[in-house]
């Protein structure tokens, strides 16, 4: 009996002890995590303020490049690396003067440039609904061509991981590079990504043309996280020629800023064809595809490579939803000869401080294009990939002349609409300014 009573005392005491130990360990764990989270939040908020302060006010003489910024740029790289080249990020604590700090932060972000691969796009194959007087001309030669365009890395199939969810918030874009295909959109986006106040998705989301039914939450989730004061961006050049895109984008954000990189439509068409040819060498020659009837001189404007270049018609569609003040046109030609000059205008349009300047570019003779300067600690070149700046096939000069003639009225219309003269007219001798063809 005594044995049983002592046993029951023991058993009632042991669970209590265990209970006590358990409670104690829980309390200690809780206390530990509370302290940690308190430490983290104290760490985060001052850094966030510091970031905004650094990026916008920039009055302090000397400051540390913050841990948050380093984390941020690491995350940004990791996001981009999902589709591109793996790269090791060396973390360093640096002390800079104010001016150097911005430049260094910007340089740190140049990592994306050399990793920007063939972001090939598919032009929208949706049949164009040509408005106005040009309707008749284009419709007269309307014919459904086989679309030889290749696809961009498709986000509907492959999603990049969210590497920055803890820092900032995913937002719908406030600015989009909507076109034009082969205009120089990748070069522009990568140069913009150098800016500390720009965060952009590396792939082309194709939300407003191919993935619209997936919904805005899907779209938002593709975006990198941003902090207050940072702009979320994406580029999908096929939007410019997608009839439904203006309405859809307008219904998402009426005040969105739209950037369009335009290039001589003849050169653009040849560039487009060159891209297709690289994937499908068996396609007919450019000269064959360009005409409905070459003897009669009837241009085939339904061929997507040519149709995309009728900028005035596509712009008319956008102008039904957006005022010109919300659009900015970048000259694809000037982006090559004076990238810093074009970047200054783009940064002004986006309301950004002019941080990306001529200090960030150099002309790479081998590539034949401007490239982003590399930071001192890296030996990686910072030029766009092989699919950007390809050698174009030689096109019959007579065909080029006829195409210039075909585009002339549309170009003039486009100059009038935008209030900008892009000087795509052919000069004596068959050369067009800024054109490589």
Ligand X SMILES: Nc1ncnc2c1ncn2[C@@H]1O[C@H](COP(=O)(O)OS(=O)(=O)O)[C@@H](OP(=O)(O)O)[C@H]1O
Tokens of 183: 């205009």
392 is in an annotated binding site: yes
The one among 66, 120, 149, 264 contacting ligand X by CB under 6 A: 120
Please name the residue that has the structure tokens 């609904």: 129
Site for ligand X in 341-370 (CB under 6 A): 369-370
Minimum CB separation of residue 182 from ligand X in Å reads 4
How many residues in the shown chain lie near ligand X by CB under 6 A? 21
The one among 73, 121, 153, 418 contacting ligand X by CB under 6 A: 121
418 is in an annotated binding site: no
**Is 336 an interacting residue with respect to ligand X (CB under 6 A)?**
yes
183 is in an annotated binding site: yes
Minimum CB separation of residue 160 from ligand X in Å reads 17
Minimum CB separation of residue 200 from ligand X in Å reads 13
186 is in an annotated binding site: yes
Which among 147, 152, 150 is positioned nearest to 126, based on CA atoms? Answer: 147
- What residues contact residue 272 under an 8 Å CB cut-off, 6+ apart? 123, 149, 181, 182, 304, 305, 308
Please name the residue that has the structure tokens 């199939």: 157
**Is 119 an interacting residue with respect to ligand X (CB under 6 A)?**
yes
Site for ligand X in 166-185 (CB under 6 A): 181-185
Alpha carbon dihedral 123, 126, 132, 133, in 10-degree steps, equals 80
Cβ distance to ligand X smaller for residue 120 or 124: 120
279 is catalytic: no
**Is 309 an interacting residue with respect to ligand X (CB under 6 A)?**
no
Alpha carbon dihedral 249, 254, 257, 259, in 10-degree steps, equals 40
Site for ligand X in 1-30 (CB under 6 A): none
Minimum CB separation of residue 259 from ligand X in Å reads 11
Cβ distance to ligand X smaller for residue 184 or 202: 184
The answer to whether residues 178 and 326 touch, using CB atoms and an 8 Å cutoff, is: no
Cα(33)–Cα(318) distance, integer angstroms: 52
**Stretch (H or E) spanning 198:** strand 198-200
Q: Phi and psi dihedrals of 27, rounded to 5?
A: -60, -45
Q: What's the gap between Cα 236 and its chain centre?
A: 7
Cβ distance to ligand X smaller for residue 181 or 292: 181
Alpha carbon dihedral 351, 115, 226, 47, in 10-degree steps, equals -100
Cβ distance to ligand X smaller for residue 160 or 191: 191
Cβ distance to ligand X smaller for residue 182 or 292: 182
Which among 26, 77, 334, 333 is positioned nearest to 199, based on CA atoms? Answer: 77
Minimum CB separation of residue 280 from ligand X in Å reads 15
Looking at 70-78, 214-222, 251-259, 385-393, which segment touches ligand X (CB under 6 A)? 385-393
Cβ distance to ligand X smaller for residue 308 or 312: 308
**Is 206 an interacting residue with respect to ligand X (CB under 6 A)?**
no
Helices (H), 86-242: 98-108, 111-115, 134-140, 185-192, 216-222
CB atoms within 10 A of CB 273: 24
Strands 257-262 and 198-200: unpaired
Selecting among 70, 170, 182, 292, the annotated active-site residue is 182
**Alpha-carbon distance values, 192 to 57, 78, 255, 288, 401 (Å):** 20, 18, 20, 38, 35
Cβ distance to ligand X smaller for residue 113 or 167: 113
Q: Which string of x and - marks every residue 218-257 that binds ligand X (by CB under 6 A)?
A: -------------------x--------------------
**Is 307 an interacting residue with respect to ligand X (CB under 6 A)?**
no
Minimum CB separation of residue 421 from ligand X in Å reads 20
DSSP string, 245-262: HHHHHHHH-TT-EEEEEE
**Alpha-carbon distance values, 342 to 38, 51, 239, 322 (Å):** 45, 26, 22, 22
Minimum CB separation of residue 161 from ligand X in Å reads 23
- Binding-site residues for 3'-phosphoadenylyl sulfate sit at 182-186, 263, 271, 388-392
Catalytic residues: 182
Contact positions vs ligand X (CB under 6 A): 119-121, 181-187, 237, 271, 274, 335-336, 369-370, 384, 388-390
- Binding-site residues sit at 182-186, 263, 271, 388-392
């Amino acid at each position: 009996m005594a044995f049983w009573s002592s046993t029951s005392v023991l058993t009632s005491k042991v669970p209590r002890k265990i209970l006590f130990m358990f409670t104690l360990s829980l309390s200690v764990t809780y206390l530990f995590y509370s302290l940690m989270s308190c430490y983290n939040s104290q760490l985060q908020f001052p850094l966030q303020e510091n970031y905004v302060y650094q990026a916008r006010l920039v009055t302090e003489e000397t400051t540390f490049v913050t841990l948050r910024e380093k984390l941020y740029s690491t995350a940004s790289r990791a996001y981009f690396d999902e589709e591109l080249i793996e790269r090791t990020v060396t973390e360093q604590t640096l002390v800079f003067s104010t001016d150097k700090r911005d430049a260094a932060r910007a340089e740190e972000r140049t990592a994306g440039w050399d990793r920007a691969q063939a972001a090939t796009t598919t032009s929208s194959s949706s049949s164009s609904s040509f408005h106005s007087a040009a309707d008749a001309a284009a419709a007269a030669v309307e014919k459904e061509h086989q679309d030889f365009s290749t696809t961009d890395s498709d986000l509907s199939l492959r999603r990049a991981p969210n590497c920055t969810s803890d820092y900032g918030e995913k937002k719908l874009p406030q600015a989009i590079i909507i076109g034009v295909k082969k205009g120089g959109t990748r070069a522009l986006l990568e140069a913009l990504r150098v800016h500390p106040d720009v965060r952009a998705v590396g792939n082309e989301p194709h939300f407003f043309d191919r993935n619209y039914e997936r919904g805005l939450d899907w779209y938002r989730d593709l975006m990198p996280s941003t902090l207050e004061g940072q702009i979320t961006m994406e580029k999908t050049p096929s939007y410019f020629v997608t009839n439904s895109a203006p309405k859809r984008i307008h219904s998402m954000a009426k005040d969105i800023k739209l950037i369009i990189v335009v290039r001589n439509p003849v050169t653009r068409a040849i560039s487009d064809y060159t891209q297709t040819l690289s994937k499908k060498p068996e396609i007919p020659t450019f000269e064959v595809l360009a005409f409905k009837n070459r003897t009669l001189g009837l241009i085939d404007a339904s061929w997507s490579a040519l149709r995309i270049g009728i900028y005035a018609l596509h712009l008319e569609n956008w102008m039904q939803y957006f005022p010109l003040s919300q659009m900015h046109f970048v000259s694809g030609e000037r982006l090559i000869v004076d990238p810093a000059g074009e970047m200054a205008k783009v940064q002004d349009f986006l309301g950004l401080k002019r941080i990306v300047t001529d200090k960030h570019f150099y002309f790479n003779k081998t590539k034949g294009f401007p490239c982003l300067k590399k930071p001192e600690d890296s030996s990686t070149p910072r030029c766009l990939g092989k699919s950007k700046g390809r050698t174009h096939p030689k096109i019959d000069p007579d065909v080029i002349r006829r195409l210039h003639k075909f585009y002339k009225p549309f170009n003039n219309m486009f100059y009038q609409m935008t209030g900008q003269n892009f000087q795509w007219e052919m000069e004596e001798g068959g050369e067009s300014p800024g054109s490589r063809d």
